Amino acid sequence: MAFKEADYIWMNGEFVPWKDAKIHVLSHVVHYGTSVFEGIRAYKTPKGTAIFRLPEHIKRLFNSAKIYRMEIPFTPDELANAMKEAIRKNELESCYIRPLVYRGYNSLGVNPFPCPVEVSIAVWEWGKYLGPEALEKGVDVKISTWNRMAPNTFPATAKAGANYMNSQLVKMEAILDNYVEGIALDINGWVSEGSGENLFLVIDGKLYTPPLGASILAGITRDTVVKLAEEMGIEVTKMMIPREFLYTCDELFFTGSAAEITPISSVDKITVGSGKRGPITERLQKKFFDIVENGNDPYGWLQYV
């Protein structure tokens, strides 16, 4: 899906026209993947455009940068304001927000320290991540032959650009095999996550999701679903999940800022439950979209632009 281009991108404190938001080919990030980023959605609500769980995303961005010893030359408030300003300046009602922190141009060689830490914020309209019908019909997925990275190789809770080389292996294999998405197991064979989504299973009316120890990103949508489910009286257990539970569970769905709550209809060509969006998935989706689209937000998760 090609970009729906917006007008301006924020780079290191200034707005530049979309087409001029460029970096040098010898920037450290281009060669060694030296970046951390976030993916956030802003929704159109009856009270105006609102960003979903912005402080949590900013906190994770700063934590990712901390892990990689990158000092962000802006405060969390400055970045929050820049994101809001970017949405206003581009006159967008709803959009995806992509803040990126990266090592720029100075020198090459693995040592990143001489290269400046730079920040950009792009916003653009991004439709449904796994296809227009995915939220209702669900998607067909496969277990990847690739594993998620081992702990002590790439830290999975840092949202680093380089992690997405692993995600790309998972995604490409899935697409070439005619699936919409792939699910990676961790190095011990436990269920980990999708190339860009966390996973939830429904078994006998209860929710299960892999723990942080299964090499997953600590998803903010995952946290949202945990909180909504508990409030709805649905028990949630974080536990190591054997692969075969993905075949035998009653319902299965992805969560992510881009993917929102997307049902999974089959895994490795084995139909999950009824093969359609299940009742608990649908209830959670309804609750989620009532917050982000209708602005019914008792949690204070929306920040108006």
Amino acid found at 212: L
Give 289: exposed, middle or buried? Use CB within 10 Å, 0-12, 13-18, 19+.
Answer: middle
Q: Judged by CB under 6 A, how many residues of this single chain contact ligand PPE?
A: 16
Is residue 44 within 8 Å of residue 94, measured between CB atoms?
yes
Which stretch, 16-24, 43-51, 253-261, 293-301, contacts ligand PPE (CB under 6 A)?
Answer: 253-261
Minimum gap (Å) between residue 244 Cβ and ligand PPE: 22
- Per the annotation, the verdict on 276 as an active-site residue is no
Could you say which of 90, 144, 221, 265 contacts ligand PPE (CB under 6 A)? 221
**Residue 265 near ligand PPE by CB under 6 A:** no
Minimum gap (Å) between residue 114 Cβ and ligand PPE: 29
Instruction: Say how many C-beta atoms besides its own lie within 10 A of residue 250's C-beta.
Output: 17
* x/- letters, 6..45, toward ligand PPE (CB under 6 A): ---------------------------------x------
Residue 172 has phi, psi (to 5 degrees) of: -60, -45
Could you say which of 104, 210, 256, 273 contacts ligand PPE (CB under 6 A)? 256
Is residue 186 within 8 Å of residue 214, measured between CB atoms?
yes
Could you say which of 97, 222, 265, 301 contacts ligand PPE (CB under 6 A)? 222
Could you say which of 99, 193, 215, 229 contacts ligand PPE (CB under 6 A)? 193
Could you say which of 210, 219, 273, 278 contacts ligand PPE (CB under 6 A)? 219
Which stretch, 2-10, 108-116, 193-201, 294-302, contacts ligand PPE (CB under 6 A)?
Answer: 193-201
Catalytic member of 89, 159, 206, 287: 159
**Residue 220 near ligand PPE by CB under 6 A:** yes
**Which H/E stretch holds residue 105?**
none
Could you say which of 42, 123, 258, 305 contacts ligand PPE (CB under 6 A)? 258
Tokens of 162: 């380089």
In the 8-state DSSP scheme, what is residue 190? B
Is residue 160 within 8 Å of residue 68, measured between CB atoms?
yes
| b/e 88-126 (16+ beta carbons within 10 angstroms → b) | ebbebebbbbbbbbbbbbeeeeeebeebebbbbbbbbeb
Residue 183, CB half-sphere, CA atoms under 13 Å: how many?
Answer: 31
Q: Which residues are catalytic?
A: 159
Residues contributing to the site for ligand PPE (CB under 6 A)? 39, 167, 193, 196-198, 217, 219-222, 255-259
